[in-house]
Chains A and B, each alone.
Chain A
């Protein structure tokens, strides 16, 4: 681990100015990604600005048709929230399937989506539910937020303050975990939303993506059979020691089918 300056921010403004004012400042949320990276000397930030004490970033609330989750909400909190479980059970379950108890008790939704690991779970929910990401500066549509592998629409010094999830009529997330890391080899989030069915896939490609063909099929018939024979191409999919692109493409179909079945209950 390299030396860095540690600062505990008191407010969103304080955090943002501390990060922008530093030579190479970063927000510190749960630290589950950034701390191991620094420990392995793969990152060398000059300053870490801790968001743990910032008011207004925590908390979960459901009002009308929207679930609001604060940027610093821990995975374990989302998983345990009875309000989330009642409104979007698939989201609570997704959070409960991230990593292990230690990771879930530290890791945050803001950190997860800001990091945009290609195998992370939350991006599938953000895109699959058509959520809106709120930052200290603006609101970003979930569809526009994830721009590439480990890349997002966030600008330097921009802080995720929360995510608003519209409540779907039904939804489910089906994850095929990497046996070692338990991140998604393939994770498929399906939802029947007011804007029509959505199918978002994480783990399979460099960045979360939607499967238009499946969405169209589900619009006609929201049933497992509708997607069971839809194969996606494997040209742009990830291939590594855990799964070939061909296998990932296959799993997308299987997980989509199972997710629809689960969403239908």
Chain B
């Protein structure tokens, strides 16, 4: 068996390319005769759009054309589509206003495109954009999540009274009654009002696109920073551009990070495709960091009230959640899904709470549209749950560890039907927590706290026990819940004649290490050396089909498709081997790259079988097609449920309010692990992201919808010196629902870290009378909390 199969921490195959500057990103696609697009964007959060006079810009040097909203209409362009529909509690569908690729009549957020200048050089396009004369009449804005749906708020879309997109109850009336009853009977209750603030994704590579229309073939090719090339083609082709799928190729080459923000189709891509078709020349666009700040889909932005009912023993009996979720100015592709089915279905967490209900009001505001961002809905759910549990621990006087243990779903209770639709397949929560407690030296905390106190510092410790649902999704369930697409994955495993393997997958690697992990699957199952396996992704003309990479789905769904395709390879290989070895196919066994006639020493390698398949001189041609190239789709029967236990320890400087994360212990269970090093890297990244949300990040808009965090000088990202050295461990509870036993790992850190950190901060401040503090927990917010606690 060659090295590097499942379980090996092999170094990433793609690293050489990335670390030596040999990656090929969208902006590296240089085309003969290419033009450059510059997007002129609204400086207003909300304004009536009068005339857009392009005459001076059109006359500027190098300008080929200037496109406006009416031009898009005249050419029949559709609006940007939304991929998920939600039904309000009164049975009406969500309000889905048209999102024109270039603004028409009104601008609704800072950054909305009002005109596109296309010129021979990027500088000429930018220069000419300053000559476009736009007649704006500024309007009052509704930019604040909490108040946007109240009477008197400025109206953003005519069709959405009170800016309400939907008003959604879940799971329904019966559940709400059960929750009411639980609160009536409760021995204790805990309640928090909290904010899950808006954050900005920040991929290292800004969004970019290059479109090339081939008039001869009538074929459009779009290179772009996409996490899901096929979905991009489907959404842009069918809904916006009216470009048939077979005449539309989307390529997502190397992509420098996505975090969810590169899933949705964006206006810039549609515009340059349209321009390229119109002008019959390649057109390119490269987002500047400042543009990405306001136009990459943001994430989160919830204002929530959460209440937990408990019985006298501290068992959770009911959970009630009321949330206002900010959608931004328009509905991005998956925005409605996030505060609904990716959110409320997680409210059980790792616990046996029997009655759960929630109401979510989704509102439009004069801010950048939101969409999926690492965790998408699940961080918001986990945060409120793990925070209110700590509040309940305080209210009941039960220790935060003990209260969780009393409520965990027991390891022998699986499969476990939660009251919020999900059926958990497996779990072992108490074990993960025990390991985390031990590794974090939970019992030694008191001594560390005293040491900090001697130094004038406050020390706090916090736990979070996150769970998430990854591996979207069983298509049938997703469809019932409002998905407008399927959510399977596909793969093709092709033996080349000389025994090397090419895997074509519908997922996309933008930092997750697929080129290595997926190759390891092949090495493990087919015995082909790692270096002889190539993984091809992100090209609609090469991979059969696919829904892409997000929601921590690639290994459990896409990897399973690869596994299925390899099963077919082995099946066919057995038939070929049986012919070559002159034995019955039932007697052929396959292991580690070798076919054997069982009970004999007659063998043939898979390489030889592949060669025979492509050079079929001695081959059962009448029964079997030549070639060794198989394709499979995998549609999971359920989500999978990674879980974790995190322990965070912080130190607070009470004089300045500064918080530093001193220790962070993470015990994750992501099922079977293919490459432990890559998994650790994913956990590190997720935790850093989560610590960033807890302590640093936050998109701020003023009441007019002006973004106040428009650059990295004002928006704080976590850095190497602001996150601790993580102490990681894992347990392995294989997922029974896919052939690999795998679960997702990309998001759990970002989901679990925020409540762990905030619980630790609150623990540090508790003795000063502070019971809650909103994210981001900045130095000033801590200092102010201490001041007001002192005052009261």
A residues with a Cβ closer than 8 A to B are: 1-3, 40-41, 176, 178-181, 183, 241-244, 247, 250-251, 254
Q: Given A180-B714, A181-B713, A247-B783, are A241 and B696 also a contact pair (CB < 8 Å)? A: no
Interface residue? B67 (CB, 8 A): no
Smallest beta-carbon distance A144→chain B, Å: 29
How far does the alpha carbon of A178 sit from the alpha carbon of B712 in the complex, in Å? 11
Q: Are A179 and B290 in contact (CB under 8 A)?
A: no
Smallest beta-carbon distance A67→chain B, Å: 29
Q: Which of B700, B708, B780, B784 has the most CB of A within 10 A?
A: B780
Q: Given A40-B290, A254-B656, are A241 and B714 also a contact pair (CB < 8 Å)? A: yes
Interface residue? B715 (CB, 8 A): yes
Instruction: State which size class the interface on B falls in.
Output: 20 to 34
Chain B contacts with A in 263-307, Cβ cutoff 8 A: 290
How far does the alpha carbon of A122 sit from the alpha carbon of B708 in the complex, in Å? 26
Q: Are B784 and A247 in contact (CB under 8 A)?
A: yes
Smallest beta-carbon distance A101→chain B, Å: 12
Q: Are A180 and B123 in contact (CB under 8 A)?
A: no
Smallest beta-carbon distance B712→chain A, Å: 6
Q: Are B714 and A181 in contact (CB under 8 A)?
A: yes
Smallest beta-carbon distance A243→chain B, Å: 6
Q: Given A181-B714, A254-B655, are A241 and B709 also a contact pair (CB < 8 Å)? A: yes
- Which of A1, A178, A183, A254 makes the CB contact (< 8 A) with B123? A1
Please give, as numbers and ranges, the residues of chain A lying within 8 Å of B655 by CB-CB distance.
254
Q: Given A241-B708, A247-B783, A254-B656, are A180 and B290 also a contact pair (CB < 8 Å)? A: no
Interface residue? B716 (CB, 8 A): yes
Q: Are B714 and A242 in contact (CB under 8 A)?
A: yes
How far does the alpha carbon of A250 sit from the alpha carbon of B656 in the complex, in Å? 8
How far does the alpha carbon of A207 sit from the alpha carbon of B715 in the complex, in Å? 23
| CB 8 Å contact bits of B419-453 with A (1 = contact, 0 = none) | 00000000000000000000000000000000000
Closest B residue by C-beta to A255: B656
Smallest beta-carbon distance A48→chain B, Å: 16
Chain B contacts with A in 127-177, Cβ cutoff 8 A: 127, 130
Please give, as numbers and ranges, the residues of chain A lying within 8 Å of B696 by CB-CB distance.
179-180
Please give, as numbers and ranges, the residues of chain A lying within 8 Å of B722 by CB-CB distance.
179
Known: A180-B716, A242-B714. 19 other contacts (CB 8 A): A1-B123, A3-B123, A40-B290, A41-B126, A41-B130, A176-B656, A179-B696, A179-B722, A179-B778, A180-B712, A180-B714, A181-B713, A241-B709, A241-B714, A242-B778, A247-B783, A247-B784, A250-B783, A254-B656
Please give, as numbers and ranges, the residues of chain A lying within 8 Å of B656 by CB-CB distance.
176, 251, 254
Please give, as numbers and ranges, the residues of chain B lying within 8 Å of A1 by CB-CB distance.
123
How far does the alpha carbon of A93 sit from the alpha carbon of B714 in the complex, in Å? 24
- SS class of chain B's interface: helix, strand, loop or mixed? loop
Smallest beta-carbon distance B58→chain A, Å: 20
Q: Are A241 and B712 in contact (CB under 8 A)?
A: no
How far does the alpha carbon of A41 sit from the alpha carbon of B122 in the complex, in Å? 14
| CB 8 Å contact bits of B690-709 with A (1 = contact, 0 = none) | 00000010001000000011
Smallest beta-carbon distance A228→chain B, Å: 10
Please give, as numbers and ranges, the residues of chain A lying within 8 Å of B780 by CB-CB distance.
242-244, 247
Closest A residue by C-beta to B718: A179
Please give, as numbers and ranges, the residues of chain A lying within 8 Å of B784 by CB-CB distance.
247
24 pairs of residues in contact across A and B, judged by CB atoms under 8 Å: A2-B127, A3-B123, A41-B126, A41-B130, A176-B656, A176-B779, A178-B713, A179-B696, A179-B716, A179-B778, A179-B779, A180-B712, A180-B714, A180-B716, A180-B717, A183-B713, A241-B709, A241-B714, A242-B714, A243-B780, A247-B784, A250-B783, A251-B656, A254-B656
Please give, as numbers and ranges, the residues of chain B lying within 8 Å of A41 by CB-CB distance.
126, 130
Q: Given A1-B123, A254-B655, A254-B656, are A180 and B715 also a contact pair (CB < 8 Å)? A: yes
Please give, as numbers and ranges, the residues of chain B lying within 8 Å of A180 by CB-CB distance.
696, 712-717
| CB 8 Å contact bits of B706-743 with A (1 = contact, 0 = none) | 00110011111100001000000000000000000000
Please give, as numbers and ranges, the residues of chain A lying within 8 Å of B717 by CB-CB distance.
180
Closest A residue by C-beta to B713: A181
| CB 8 Å contact bits of B653-673 with A (1 = contact, 0 = none) | 001100000000000000000
Smallest beta-carbon distance B38→chain A, Å: 11
Closest B residue by C-beta to A248: B780
How far does the alpha carbon of A3 sit from the alpha carbon of B123 in the complex, in Å? 9
| CB 8 Å contact bits of B219-251 with A (1 = contact, 0 = none) | 000000000000000000000000000000000
Please give, as numbers and ranges, the residues of chain B lying within 8 Å of A250 by CB-CB distance.
783
How far does the alpha carbon of A181 sit from the alpha carbon of B711 in the complex, in Å? 9
How far does the alpha carbon of A250 sit from the alpha carbon of B709 in the complex, in Å? 24
How far does the alpha carbon of A46 sit from the alpha carbon of B614 in the complex, in Å? 67
Please give, as numbers and ranges, the residues of chain A lying within 8 Å of B715 by CB-CB distance.
180
How far does the alpha carbon of A1 sit from the alpha carbon of B130 in the complex, in Å? 12
How far does the alpha carbon of A250 sit from the alpha carbon of B654 in the complex, in Å? 12
How far does the alpha carbon of A3 sit from the alpha carbon of B713 in the complex, in Å? 25
How far does the alpha carbon of A179 sit from the alpha carbon of B716 in the complex, in Å? 6
How far does the alpha carbon of A242 sit from the alpha carbon of B712 in the complex, in Å? 13
Smallest beta-carbon distance A189→chain B, Å: 18
Smallest beta-carbon distance B402→chain A, Å: 35
Q: Which of B655, B712, B722 has the most CB of A within 10 A?
A: B655
Smallest beta-carbon distance B791→chain A, Å: 13
Closest B residue by C-beta to A176: B656
Smallest beta-carbon distance A240→chain B, Å: 8
Smallest beta-carbon distance A27→chain B, Å: 23
How far does the alpha carbon of A243 sit from the alpha carbon of B783 in the complex, in Å? 11
Q: Which 7 A-B pairs have the closest CB atoms?
A: A180-B716, A181-B713, A179-B716, A247-B780, A254-B655, A241-B708, A241-B700
Closest B residue by C-beta to A181: B713
Q: Which of A178, A183, A251 has the most CB of B within 10 A?
A: A251
How far does the alpha carbon of A193 sit from the alpha carbon of B185 in the complex, in Å? 72
Closest B residue by C-beta to A253: B655
Smallest beta-carbon distance B457→chain A, Å: 14
Please give, as numbers and ranges, the residues of chain A lying within 8 Å of B290 by CB-CB distance.
40
Closest B residue by C-beta to A257: B655
Closest A residue by C-beta to B717: A180
How far does the alpha carbon of A244 sit from the alpha carbon of B780 in the complex, in Å? 8
Please give, as numbers and ranges, the residues of chain B lying within 8 Å of A179 by CB-CB distance.
696, 716, 722, 778-779
How far does the alpha carbon of A2 sit from the alpha carbon of B700 in the complex, in Å? 29
How far does the alpha carbon of A3 sit from the alpha carbon of B126 in the complex, in Å? 12
How far does the alpha carbon of A247 sit from the alpha carbon of B712 in the complex, in Å? 22
Please give, as numbers and ranges, the residues of chain B lying within 8 Å of A254 by CB-CB distance.
655-656
How far does the alpha carbon of A178 sit from the alpha carbon of B656 in the complex, in Å? 13
Please give, as numbers and ranges, the residues of chain A lying within 8 Å of B783 by CB-CB distance.
247, 250
How far does the alpha carbon of A176 sit from the alpha carbon of B655 in the complex, in Å? 12
Please give, as numbers and ranges, the residues of chain B lying within 8 Å of A181 by CB-CB distance.
712-714
Smallest beta-carbon distance B36→chain A, Å: 14
Closest B residue by C-beta to A244: B780
Please give, as numbers and ranges, the residues of chain A lying within 8 Å of B779 by CB-CB distance.
176, 179
How far does the alpha carbon of A83 sit from the alpha carbon of B170 in the complex, in Å? 69
How far does the alpha carbon of A40 sit from the alpha carbon of B784 in the complex, in Å? 35
Please give, as numbers and ranges, the residues of chain B lying within 8 Å of A2 by CB-CB distance.
127
How far does the alpha carbon of A244 sit from the alpha carbon of B712 in the complex, in Å? 20
Please give, as numbers and ranges, the residues of chain A lying within 8 Å of B708 by CB-CB distance.
241
| CB 8 Å contact bits of B765-792 with A (1 = contact, 0 = none) | 0000000000000111001100000000
Closest B residue by C-beta to A250: B783
How far does the alpha carbon of A78 sit from the alpha carbon of B440 in the complex, in Å? 42
Please give, as numbers and ranges, the residues of chain A lying within 8 Å of B130 by CB-CB distance.
41
How far does the alpha carbon of A179 sit from the alpha carbon of B783 in the complex, in Å? 15
Q: Which of A3, A176, A180 has the most CB of B within 10 A?
A: A180
How far does the alpha carbon of A26 sit from the alpha carbon of B79 in the complex, in Å? 46
How far does the alpha carbon of A118 sit from the alpha carbon of B614 in the complex, in Å? 72
Q: Which of B126, B656, B700, B784 has the most CB of A within 10 A?
A: B656
Smallest beta-carbon distance B757→chain A, Å: 15
How far does the alpha carbon of A209 sit from the alpha carbon of B722 in the complex, in Å? 30
| CB 8 Å contact bits of B249-260 with A (1 = contact, 0 = none) | 000000000000
